[in-house]
Amino acid sequence: MTSRKIMLTVLLSFLFIPSSLFAAGTGDDPNPTSDIPTEAQIAAAKAKEEMIRQYMQNKDSKKQITPMSLGEVRTLNVTPFKQETPYWCGPATVKQVLHFLNGTSQPQSYYASKLGTTTDGTDFSKVDDVLNSHQSVHTYTYRSFSSNEYSTWVTAMILTIDWGVPAVLDLRISRDLLPNYTSTVEGHILNTSGYDTSSYPNQTSYRLRVTDPYDQGNRGATFGNKWYEMEKVWKANQAHFRKAIIW
């Protein structure tokens, strides 16, 4: 084979590699899309924002807003399901959340079909709709955060656990943020399952538990229910181009 033919073969092979491999993600579609809320989601989002406002207004004066509270550890008994393909973190996470809420769930392939998951991964803006169509416990909504909304984000993390529902996060993971990881993951979907605010009011020492469907390197270090510094999970969420959660 001539050198020219070899170069052409190599070029063609690159053209047919799924973009998810270039993104070095675990199944988060890197293509930007917009979330289109339903009327029910718009109403639910407004109610949640009012709860956040009340919570933040009262927490510093230590007024109790049941069940919203600080200075404690709370967890949800979310069963982890290892993602069955390198690009099924979305379907696996949806399965984890629905299995917790309903006590049962469908195979990951079913949720992959409902989410429209491809080898590029899952469009995060579709996650709330699929969750809402498969349970009646909670109306999930999409929300993105600006860089000055850390306290608001922390409140959302706390409130969802207090309500007894996991939130879903879209992260860009680096080793310095989530130290169980050994290399950067450009896009990854997982859910929350607990918080530790026992250091209240020292917000920088809060911790967040996530239920991660990805087992990086088959080491058992990333898969399952894992605790990380809440501020670093926030930074991983902010590092992602969406800067968004489903809650």
Model pLDDT for residues 63-104, shown as the tens digit of each residue: 554 445 678 999 999 999 999 999 999 999 999 999 999 999
pTM for the predicted model, two decimal places: 0.88
Give me the domains of the chain, ranges plus CATH numbers: 29-246 (3.90.70.10)
pLDDT tens-place string over residues 21-66: 333 578 999 998 999 999 999 999 999 999 999 888 887 655 554 4
| SS3 label, residue 168 | strand
Q: Output the pLDDT for position 89.
A: 98
Own/partner contacts of 35-38, CB < 8 Å, gap of 24 or more, are: 35/125, 35/128, 35/142, 35/244, 36/125, 37/141, 37/142, 38/129
Q: Which residues pair with 74 in a beta bridge?
A: 195
Q: Which residues pair with 228 in a beta bridge?
A: 208
* Pairwise pLDDT comparison (91 vs 19), residue with the higher score: 91
Helix spans in 69-149 (H): 89-102, 108-115, 127-132
Mean pLDDT of the chain: 89
